[in-house]
Structures are given as structure tokens and as C-alpha cells.
Amino acid sequence: MLVENMTIPVEIRSTFEEASRIIQETFLQSDIQSGSQVTPDQLIEAVSQFLFVFDKLDAENGETGAILFDDVNQLGDHAIGFLMDLAYWADRLRLPKSKMDVEKTALGVAHWLIRHEGELRTLEPLVNSLAASANLTQEPATLKALAQVMGDTISHTAPSIQADLEKNDPTRPWRILNFNYAIVATRTQDTELMSRAFDTLGRNLPEDCVEFFEQGLQQAQKANYAPEVQAMMKTHFDRWTTKH
């Protein structure tokens, strides 16, 4: 379970509303022409409608479990897609905090999808939000929570993405998500969590494991890593270099 409160959290809604207000006002004050693109206000209205639908479905079907009479995958993917477009506008309008807040809203939608046994078909804003959160903290408990969210996101990613057919693109969100899961797990220095993340990395990105554990071993040799963390990284490094 990704979040304790079941509906789209109030703080996520307020974050989205504030980001939307800033984006909309900045767009109206700018001289940017949308052309054939959907405008920020249209995207904001669409996302607001989706959030309303999500709450309605929770009220009618319960806050967890599959929803049999609606395609939650399609609903979630459309909502995340609109949020990704809105994040693009925030970036274009040079509003980095608003962009981050919109991506945080996309992560809230992902929480909703996972609760209802859906699959995630659009990863980029989720990966961006999780990475930004991880970069802002050194607190072990927070890092553990973020690692848990990353693991849940990986396990609920659509099979078409997990097939990882675009291996020639090192910046693909699937690759970054798996790497970040292993990196954040290492930062927690929780060996049980590290083991789960490393096993996941080995399953999903075996061709990248030699490089990852080589760099990880160099990092772990720093004085701020516990001896058991260093030993675990060395074990995985040896395992993968032996295989390859």
C-alpha cells in the first residue's frame, strides 16, 4: 500500500490547485501562443474532472480492490497523460516548482490506480516526482517510504513497458526507475530493502548490473556506509562480474 489515506489526499489536491492557478495566471500573462496544443486551462479542467471521477468510484466501489465496471487503466493513463502535458506547460513557462507539483499529482493518481489493481502505462512524471523527492531528503524513514513506492510502481508497471523493448535509450523512464529504486534502497542502508531492490534490478535490467554494482561498490567504500552494506555491495558486484 502506497499511502495511508485512501482517497486522493487533500494535500495533493491543494498542491494541484495551487500549481494550476500559477500556471494558468502565468500563461495568460505570457505571449505564448498555444497553437494547436491543448491550453493549460483545458488540461486543468480535464484533470479536475478525473479527480472527481476517482473519488466517485471510490465511494461507489470501495477504496481498494478491482473496479469491474470501469477501465481504471484507461482512466488513470488519461489523467496522468494530461498531467504530463500540464507539466510540459509549467516547464515551458519556467515554473519548476509548479512542474514538480503537477508531477506529484500524477503520483497521487498512480496511488489510486495501484489501490484498484490497475497498471501504470505512463511513467515519466512518476519517475520525475519520485526522483525529486529522493533528492530532497537524507532521512532514512522517508527514504524507506520512497523506496517502497518505487518498488510498488515497478511491480504495477504495464507489461508492455516491463518488456523494455527500447534498450538503446539509456534515459528511458523504466531504466531510471529501476536504477533509482536500487540507489534509494542503498541510501537507506537497510540490507533487506537493498536485497529486494537489487533482485528487482537483476530481473529487469541484467545488462546494466555490472556497471551499477561497480559504481555502487565505489560509493559504498566511503566511510559513511556500514560494513554490512559494503559487504553486500561487494557480494553483488562479484556475482555479476563473474556472470559476465
Q: What is the predicted pLDDT for the residue at 4?
A: 41
Boundary residue ending a domain (122, 146, 173) = 122
Boundary residue ending a domain (106, 122, 138) = 122
From residue 4, give the alpha-carbon distance in Å to each of 111, 139, 181, 244. Answer: 10, 19, 21, 42
37, 67: one domain = yes
81, 168: one domain = no
91, 106: one domain = yes
Q: What is the predicted pLDDT for the residue at 6?
A: 46
- β-bridge partners, 157: 120
Rounded to 5 degrees, φ, ψ at 240 are -80, -35
8, 113: one domain = yes
Q: Split the chain (244 residues) into runs of 10 and give each run's mean pLDDT.
A: 52 91 95 84 96 91 83 94 96 96 95 93 96 93 95 96 91 97 95 96 95 90 85 92 70
Orientation angle between helical segments 72-92 and 40-61, nearest 10 degrees = 150
91, 41: one domain = yes
140, 106: one domain = no
Q: What is the predicted pLDDT for the residue at 3?
A: 38
Rounded to 5 degrees, φ, ψ at 107 are -65, -35
Q: Which domain holds residue 203?
A: 125-244
Q: What is the predicted pLDDT for the residue at 98?
A: 97
Q: Write down how long the chain is.
A: 244
Residue with cell 531528503: 137
77, 118: one domain = yes
Q: What is the predicted pLDDT for the residue at 2?
A: 40
199, 229: one domain = yes
Cβ atoms of 115 and 68 closer than 8 Å: no
Nearest to 206 by CA among 217, 214, 194, 198: 198
SS3 label, residue 242: helix
Nearest 5 degrees, angle CA 103-CA 105-CA 111? 110
12, 52: one domain = yes
User: How many independent structural domains does the chain possess?
Assistant: 2
77, 96: one domain = yes
Q: How many CB atoms lie within 10 A of CB 217?
A: 17
- β-bridge partners, 120: 157
Cβ atoms of 161 and 123 closer than 8 Å: yes
Q: What is the predicted pLDDT for the residue at 243?
A: 58
97, 22: one domain = yes
Boundary residue ending a domain (54, 87, 122) = 122
Q: What is the predicted pLDDT for the residue at 68?
A: 80
Cβ atoms of 144 and 193 closer than 8 Å: yes
Q: What is the predicted pLDDT for the residue at 130?
A: 96
Nearest to 126 by CA among 144, 143, 96, 151: 151
Nearest 5 degrees, angle CA 74-CA 76-CA 80? 115
Q: What is the predicted pLDDT for the residue at 7?
A: 60
133, 116: one domain = no
